[in-house]
């Protein structure tokens, strides 16, 4: 079988992660990186792979089987995914949960128009965590769902802190509360408030002359982001931030705590501990890109999510090999 030819649009942390993930999959090759920046300013890690302007994609003739869209969910993907789904098979990691239905509808129309296959909202949440929520609900209909995130860097919360006056730089860790996790694991199906599930820890670099007390107060009382949480603010130097908080770890837990009709308790727990959030997300995208290529070969068009993909489609191995070695 010929290799699956991937294109990457957007060479940020996620795009770089996809580039890395391709190296671990012999049946997949990177054809080109597409960028909205001047290609001559984009130095990629893989030798022999071209960086092209995003406009090159407009022809619909680029030699790629699947285009992985590595832009952001706030402004890039709502436009990019429907646009490129008309031209290529695509995978995105659209993660604004509340807007998934409208995004799906727009991408579905575009992909059907273009005769392509488009997988949206892939990664770990939405993605692998969603699969575990779905399966937990199907297998244990009488039960409760719990999702905890962290310990890890929240990009959105870090950005929110950086917008506070007097803040030069910041990183924010979301931390699951161990006692709450243990309570869920006990099978007691607790009702947990936002504050009981996660704490938030901030590492903040002040601008010169900024009032630390006011900055701290503004952070911990920030609506939506911090006011419902127990938040710790630590002031450190830029050197310390760069040295100790440059990594992008993340992870979390999905639990389904249920019972059988006779009242026997059952607990399903799924967890991820990731030294790099974007690199792991990229690994997931690449595995699902393989599935998209297979669906496309079968003539399937339109939008899909991880819920629609038979797990065997993620593997380079055939059914007989999977049954013999993995079942």
Read off the DSSP letter of residue 48.
T
Give the three-state DSSP class for 255: strand
Is 130 a binding residue for a second copy by CB under 8 A? The answer is yes
Q: Which stretch binds a second copy (CB under 8 A): 79-87, 138-146, 191-199, 207-215?
A: 138-146
Measured distance CA(7)–CA(120) in Å, rounded: 16
CB of 59 to a second copy, least distance (A): 31
The answer to whether 68 contacts a second copy (rule: CB under 8 A) is no
**Does the protein bind a second copy through residue 128 (CB under 8 A)?**
yes
Q: With CB under 8 A as the contact rule, which of the stretches 7-15, 55-63, 70-78, 94-102 interacts with a second copy?
A: 94-102
8 Å CB contact between 190 and 183 = yes
C-alpha span between 197 and 180 (Å, rounded): 6
Residue 293's Cα: distance from chain center in Å? Answer: 20
Token readout for 45 is 């890690």
Q: Is residue 228 involved in binding a second copy (CB under 8 A)?
A: no
Comparing CB distances to a second copy, the nearer of 11 and 280 is: 280
Q: How far is the CB of 244 from a second copy (least distance, A)?
A: 17
Is 144 one of the binding residues for a second copy (CB under 8 A)?
A: no
| 3-class DSSP state of 239 | helix
Q: Is 319 in the site for a second copy (CB under 8 A)?
A: yes
User: Which of 197, 256 has the CB closer to a second copy?
Assistant: 256
Least Cβ distance, residue 212 to a second copy (angstroms):
33
Please choose, from the candidates 187, 197, 182, the residue with its C-alpha nearest in 3D space to the C-alpha of residue 142: 187
By CB under 8 A, the residues from 234 to 263 that bind a second copy are 260-262
**CA 233 → CA 29, 50, 172, 201, 208, distances in Å?**
44, 44, 9, 6, 17
DSSP state of 45: S
User: Considering only residues 4-33, where is the footprint of a second copy by CB under 8 A?
Assistant: 17, 20-21, 23-25
User: Are 65 and 6 a contacting pair, CB within 8 Å?
Assistant: yes
274 touching a second copy, by CB under 8 A = yes
Q: Does 49 contact a second copy by CB under 8 A?
A: no
What does residue 25 show for φ and ψ, rounded to 5 degrees?
A: -130, 105
Q: Is the dihedral of CA 101, 102, 105, 110 positive or negative?
A: negative
Residue recorded with tokens 């501990």: 273
Site for a second copy in 179-208 (CB under 8 A): 185
List interacting residues with a second copy (CB under 8 A): 17, 20-21, 23-25, 97, 100-101, 104, 121, 126, 128, 130-131, 133-135, 137-142, 185, 260-262, 264-276, 279-280, 282-284, 287, 290, 305-312, 314-315, 319-320, 322-324, 326-327
């Amino acid at each position: 079988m010929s290799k699956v030819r991937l294109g990457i649009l957007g060479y940020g942390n996620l795009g770089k992660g996809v580039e890395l993930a391709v190296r671990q999959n012999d049946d997949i090759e990177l054809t080109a990186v597409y960028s909205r920046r001047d290609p001559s300013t984009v130095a990629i890690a893989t030798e022999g792979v071209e960086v092209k302007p995003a406009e090159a994609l407009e022809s619909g003739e680029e030699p790629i089987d699947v285009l992985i869209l590595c832009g952001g969910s706030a402004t890039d993907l709502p436009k990019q995914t429907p646009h490129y789904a008309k031209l290529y098979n695509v995978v995105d990691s659209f993660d604004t949960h509340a807007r998934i239905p409208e995004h799906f509808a727009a991408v579905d129309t575009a992909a059907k128009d273009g005769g392509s296959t488009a997988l949206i909202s892939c990664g770990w949440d939405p993605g692998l965590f969603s699969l575990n929520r779905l399966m937990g609900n199907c297998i244990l209909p009488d039960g409760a769902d719990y999702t905890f995130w962290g310990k890890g860097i929240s990009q959105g919360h870090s950005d929110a802190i950086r917008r506070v006056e007097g803040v030069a730089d910041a990183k924010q860790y979301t931390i699951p509360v161990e006692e709450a996790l243990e309570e869920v694991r006990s099978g007691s199906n607790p009702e947990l408030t936002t504050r009981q599930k996660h704490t938030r820890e901030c590492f903040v670099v002040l601008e010169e002359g900024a009032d630390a007390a006011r900055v701290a107060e503004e952070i911990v009382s920030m609506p939506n982001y911090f006011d419902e949480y127990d938040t710790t603010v630590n002031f450190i130097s830029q050197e310390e931030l760069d040295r100790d908080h440059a990594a992008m770890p993340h992870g979390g837990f999905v639990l389904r705590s249920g019972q059988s009709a006779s009242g026997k308790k059952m607990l399903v727990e799924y967890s991820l501990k990731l030294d790099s959030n974007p690199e792991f997300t990229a690994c997931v995208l690449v595995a699902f890109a393989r599935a998209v290529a297979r669906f496309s070969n079968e003539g399937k068009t339109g939008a899909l999510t991880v819920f629609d993909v038979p797990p065997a489609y993620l593997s380079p191995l055939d059914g007989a090999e999977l049954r013999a070695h993995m079942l």
